[in-house]
Amino acid sequence: MSDISKAFDHGKAFIAFITCGDPDLATTASAVREAVNNGADLIELGIPFSDPTAEGPVIQEANVRALAGGVTTDKIFDFVRELRRDVTIPLVFMTYANVVFSYGSDRFLGKCAEVGIDGLILPDVPFEEREEFLPVCRKYGVKLISLIAPTSADRIAMIAREAEGFLYLVSSLGVTGTRSEIRTDLASIVAEVRKNTDIPCAVGFGISNPEQARAMAELSDGAIVGSAIVRILAQYGKEAPVYVGKFVKEMKDALR
Average pLDDT of every residue of the chain: 92
Pairwise CA distance, residues 36 & 130, whole Å: 30
Q: How many CB atoms lie within 10 A of CB 85?
A: 8
Domain boundaries, the chain: 4-146+221-255
Provide the whole-model pTM.
0.93
What are the pLDDT digits (tens) for 143-156? Answer: 999 999 888 878 99
Grouping H, G, I as helix, E, B as strand and the rest as coil, residue 203 is strand
How far is residue 249's CA from residue 161's CA, in Å, rounded to a whole number? 33
- What pLDDT score was predicted for residue 209? 93
Residue 178 has pLDDT above 60, yes or no: no
Query: Average pLDDT for residues 81-97, to the nearest whole number?
Result: 97
Please tell me the predicted confidence (pLDDT) of residue 174. Answer: 45
Looking at residues 69-75, what average pLDDT do you find?
A: 97
Supply the CATH classification number for the domain 4-146+221-255. Answer: 3.20.20.70
182 has a pLDDT exceeding 50: no
Helix, strand or coil, per DSSP, at residue 202 = strand
Find all residues with CB under 8 Å of 221, minimum gap 6, and list them: 8, 12, 13, 166, 200, 201, 202
The predicted pLDDT at position 175 comes to 45
Q: With contact defined as beta carbons under 8 Å apart, do 221 and 202 qualify?
A: yes
2 falls in which pLDDT band (50, 70, 90)? Answer: low
State pLDDT tens for residues 210-219: 999 999 999 9
- Total residue count of the chain as it appears in this document: 256
Q: What angle do CA 45, 91, 175 make, to 5 degrees?
A: 40
pLDDT score of 172 more than 90: no
